[in-house]
Chain A
């Protein structure tokens, strides 16, 4: 038995492995070199979070814009729409934010308030002139402008024609109030045996058709409360909320009784425990009416199973229309090395013609510029009353609150709404708990 290792083989093998390892590490560590920042053209990183359909129209349009501007090279980076927060948070932590981002409205404010984006107030594009006030508000703070909206999707009222016909009711009109809606909703709610809530023997547990798609089920529905004469927001940016103020409490009660006592709307509209499928009840074909964003048009037309039309947001107790809208817009990174070129790119992406061709006419969303908004109307497909979307854009407001702690407050209150709607929690007690929970969560953002 030899007690010496076979000298000849080991060192050579050793060396080979070591060299390979060093080589790999060296190759790995050299990595891709960043932009060398050659004098011309400037490389701009543009990050968007779009659905595949939106990307299909956006990418070629962006390429055309890029071709028109030889002074830039635009590198498009995409993020799955539901993962924007994770991506941007990580990029902010590492200082790796792209030059221009298209962000979702509800996410924007938390980053704006932490100074992530460049101040656009001094730039020459005047938002007040051509942008709808609702979407523009999403990107303003502290009296300054931190971004500009390109599109929005307001909520309008949808109704199912077949269900109205079956009940012998006339369709909603642009003059309808919430009381009109309530009356119709009760008449359109049917249980398993075809009985209405007002009929004897009505069994709520077997409801197979609701009149309205859902009541007050989460705290971002302030517009529904305002329509009935209340207001959940005490301060302008809603970092302090009130549920117990008499007018607000009365407004909330109106909605709660619609669900709890009249059974005309489900208490779990999106979870699917009552309807059987997750998602909006109107889209599932089990609600006769409902308030939904404009993007529901695309989904309804794709499914093609529901004969529907729309009317403008219903008239509230103050004679005005109230509705919410979601928006998206462009921001420039606060750490961008080419802020002027980035601004030029943003301007190009906000041109009315670009918005019309890339967003409005394909039917993805409504341009947030007044001059381009009507491109969203396309008479070649349902619904018929598409002008309602322009009325909704004019009155729509973004969801409040939209500060960083809003998501925490949402999580803290969502169960309480359900209990109010099922009756598990009494109204007075429920409202007090809601107010306490919401304000506790929002305390972090107060005074910001």
Chain B
């Protein structure tokens, strides 16, 4: 018996009043009112403005010039755009899926109750909240080809480390490693989700004789699919917005190997004075992300299991 079916039953017994909305529907709209108001007041105009700017060229304080689709035409012809798109996709793939696996693994590993667990969890989470400048500086040192910690460690096992952020082939992998350093965010969400797996289901499984692994496969993992779905989408969005390390450490180099869409958009908006083109790039990002999200929704389909009301 789901909430939804109960609602339908109850609703048919009540008269529909005003606006043709059944009482439960009126409650829905009442409860989401804060979000709706925010959408209309704070988001609608800016989003429309950003979309509109994509069809213009603007260098404030000069007046806005409408240029139709020429920004998009220029984008298709722009090698740097395609390079940025490719780099961002590589970064996305390199951080999202390993990030989910790593996040879940660490959450399972570190959810013990003992005091030591707190410190370990803190150690994993802190990197995600350290300021971008400090992070960039620290990783710049660690990845230094000559004197950095990483190549020193590799040298101990006889490997001659590459130039990392100064080598076009290794700069993006280095960036991905830096991205994975922030996996603490996933860990937190998974910790919360693990704590929310209904007790009675796990107890029942244990009483039926299911071992740890079996309990995980049949009870815990399905209960984690909704947040996994959430994290997949949120991390993908985050990957498309990676900016600070590229801005502070590589400026998109060497040879544009770390030029991400977010950095390229920022450069166009603030360094090159092309606000219209920057908006067009942002639209491209939205389209790419929307495609990704639709794919994820389709993929989720049956695989995401909600224990509660029908989604």
B254 lies within 8 A of chain A by Cβ: yes
A115–B273 contact, CB under 8 A? Answer: no
Contacts of A405 on B, CB cut-off 8 Å? Answer: 272
Query: Please, how many angstroms separate the alpha-carbon atoms of A99 and B152 in the complex?
Result: 54
Query: Which residue of chain A has the shortest Cβ distance to B33 in the bound complex?
Result: A21
Among A167-175, A257-265, A271-279, A317-325, the stretch that binds chain B is: A271-279
- Max count, chain A CB within 10 A of own CB: residue among B37, B253, B275: B253
Shortest CB-to-CB span from A322 to chain B, Å, is 27
Cβ B252 vs Cβ A115 within 8 A: no
A404 & B272 in contact (Cβ 8 Å cutoff): yes
Flag B23-60 by CB within 8 Å of A: 1 or 0 each: 10000000001000100000000000000000000111
Taking CB atoms and an 8 Å cut-off, the chain A residues in 133-181 that contact chain B are none
Q: Is B140 at the interface (CB under 8 A from chain A)?
A: yes
State the main secondary structure of chain A at its contact with B. loop
A271 adjacent to B166 (CB under 8 Å): yes
The closest CB in chain B to the CB of A335 belongs to B61
Kindly identify which residue among A5, A86, A114, A414 contacts B60, using a CB–CB cutoff of 8 Å. A114
Closest A residue to B58 using CB positions: A93
- How many Å lie between the Cα of A349 and that of B58 in the bound state? 33
Nearest-neighbor residue (CB-CB) of B250 within chain A: A271
On whether the beta carbons of B251 and A411 are closer than 8 Å, the reply is: yes
| Interface residue? A56 (CB, 8 A) | no
Contact with B along A386-409 (1 / 0, CB 8 A): 000000000000000000110110
Task: Identify the closest chain B residue to A418 (Cβ).
Answer: B254
Interface-forming stretch among B87-95, B143-151, B280-288? B143-151
Contact A273 B146 (CB under 8 A): yes
> Looking across the interface, which residue of chain B has its beta carbon closest to that of A116?
B61
Q: Does residue B141 face the partner (Cβ distance < 8 Å to A)?
A: yes
A277 to B255, CA, bound (A): 21
CA distance A115 to B60 in the complex (A): 9
Does A268 sit at the interface, judged by CB under 8 A?
yes
* Complex Cα spacing A273 to B250, Å: 12
CA distance A110 to B274 in the complex (A): 12
Q: A271 vs B167: C-alpha distance in the bound complex, in angstroms?
A: 12
Q: What is the bound-complex CA distance between A272 and B165, given in angstroms? A: 10
- Are A273 and B144 closer than 8 Å at their CB atoms? yes
A286 to chain B, nearest CB (A): 11
Number of A positions contacting B (CB below 8 A): 34
Is B163 part of the contact surface with A, judged by Cβ < 8 Å?
yes
Residues A272 and B61 in contact in the complex (CB < 8 Å), given A3-B14, A89-B269, A411-B267: no
Chain B residues with Cβ below 8 Å from A3 are 10, 13-14
B19 part of interface (Cβ distance < 8 Å) = no
Q: Does B62 contact A (CB under 8 A)?
A: yes
Q: How far is the CA of A115 from the CA of B145 in the complex (A)?
A: 46
Return A421 CB to nearest CB of chain B, in Å. Answer: 13
Task: From B140, B144, B251, name the one whose CB has the most chain A CB atoms within 10 angstroms.
Answer: B144
A415: chain B residues at CB < 8 Å are 253-256
User: Do residues B275 and A404 form an inter-chain contact, with CB atoms below 8 A?
Assistant: no
Bound complex: CA A110 to CA B146 (Å): 39
Q: Is B159 an interface residue (CB 8 A)?
A: no
Q: Does B309 contact A (CB under 8 A)?
A: no
The A101-116 residues at the B interface (CB cut-off 8 A) are 110, 114-116
Bound: A89/B272 CA distance, A: 11
Give every chain A residue within 8 A of B213 (Cβ-Cβ): none
Measured between beta carbons, the chain A residues less than 8 angstroms from B10 are: 3
Residues of B within 8 A of A274 (CB): 146
Interface contact B271-A407, CB-CB below 8 Å: yes
Using Cβ atoms and an 8 Å threshold, which residues of chain A touch B252?
A: 411
Chain B residues, CB < 8 A from A363: none
A114 and B163 within 8 A (CB): no
Residues facing A in B1-35 (CB within 8 A) are 10, 13-14, 23, 33
Within 8 A of B (CB), among A306-356: 334-335
Q: Which of B61, B147, B148, B269 has the most CB of A within 10 A?
A: B61
New A-B pairs, 5, CB < 8 Å, besides A116-B60, A415-B255 = A3-B14, A116-B61, A273-B145, A273-B166, A275-B146
30 residue pairs bridging A and B, Cβ less than 8 Å apart: A85-B270, A89-B60, A89-B275, A92-B60, A110-B273, A114-B59, A114-B62, A116-B61, A271-B166, A272-B144, A273-B144, A273-B146, A273-B166, A275-B146, A276-B148, A277-B144, A278-B137, A278-B140, A334-B61, A335-B61, A404-B59, A405-B272, A407-B271, A407-B272, A411-B251, A411-B252, A411-B271, A414-B253, A415-B254, A415-B256
